[in-house]
Amino acid sequence: MAVEVKEKQTIVKPHSRSNEIIGVVVLALAILVFLCLVTYSPNDWSLNTSSEQKTQNWIGVVGSVIADLLFQAIGLSAYFLPAMMILIAWRFLRAKDFFVSLSRIVGAEAFFLRGMINLRRGNLDESVAQLRTALFWDNRLINAHVALGKIYLQRGDCLQAKNYAASAIAIDAENQDAIGLGRQIERCGK
């Protein structure tokens, strides 16, 4: 009795045109917000400041108002907003379907950024928790896999490090950070 096994064929879809458009628009907005923040002057006209002098913000009065509102609302953390927008634009440009929920992308990126900040501060346990949460929201966040692999490698847990490195390489076999982590893990425990 012979059993015939059919191979599952996977069809690779090209990137969605709508994803590319949204990605480019978000990237352009990120650049504009960055320029608003970098060229902010407290002497420029805004909703709570009246000034007769020429606006120094490169984006004009709109830029001075946006920067003023962002600095009042979230302080110096406003500088993270363009970085977050760039990450979101990158995710849209790399996504194959438009049906990726925006809240999932934002949530994953927010937890990833918190995890990386905690890692820089030396809070490894908090960093691991944040990075795992980021992977819960988006398991294809390759940088989170690499960061977790490096943390576990630093802790001496070669098996966990190897698992995260393998996941990162499975997502993108050409990612240099993932390849470098895989090389480091080969030496782990020797």
Instruction: Specify whether the CB–CB gap between 82 and 32 falls below 8 A.
Output: no
Structure tokens at 46: 């805004």
pLDDT digits (tens, 9 = 90+) for 106-155: 888 888 888 888 888 888 999 999 999 999 888 888 889 999 999 998 88
Structure tokens at 61: 């009065």
In a domain, 173, yes or no: yes
Highest mean pLDDT among 26-35, 38-47, 111-120: 26-35
Phi, psi (5° rounding) for residue 110? Answer: -65, -45
Instruction: Specify whether the CB–CB gap between 144 and 164 falls below 8 A.
Output: no
Q: Which of 96, 129, 163 is the last residue of a domain?
A: 96
On whether both 92 and 105 belong to a single domain, the answer is no
In a domain, 57, yes or no: yes
CATH number at residue 135: 1.25.40.10
Number of domains in the chain: 2
On whether both 135 and 168 belong to a single domain, the answer is yes
Task: Give exposure, 74-86, as e/b (b: 16+ Cβ within 10 Å).
Answer: eeeebeebbebbb
Domain carrying residue 167: 101-190
Lowest mean pLDDT among 50-59, 66-75, 123-132: 50-59
Among candidates 79, 70, 86, 72, which has minimal Cα distance to 31?
86
pLDDT digits (tens, 9 = 90+) for 174-184: 888 888 888 88
On whether both 87 and 154 belong to a single domain, the answer is no
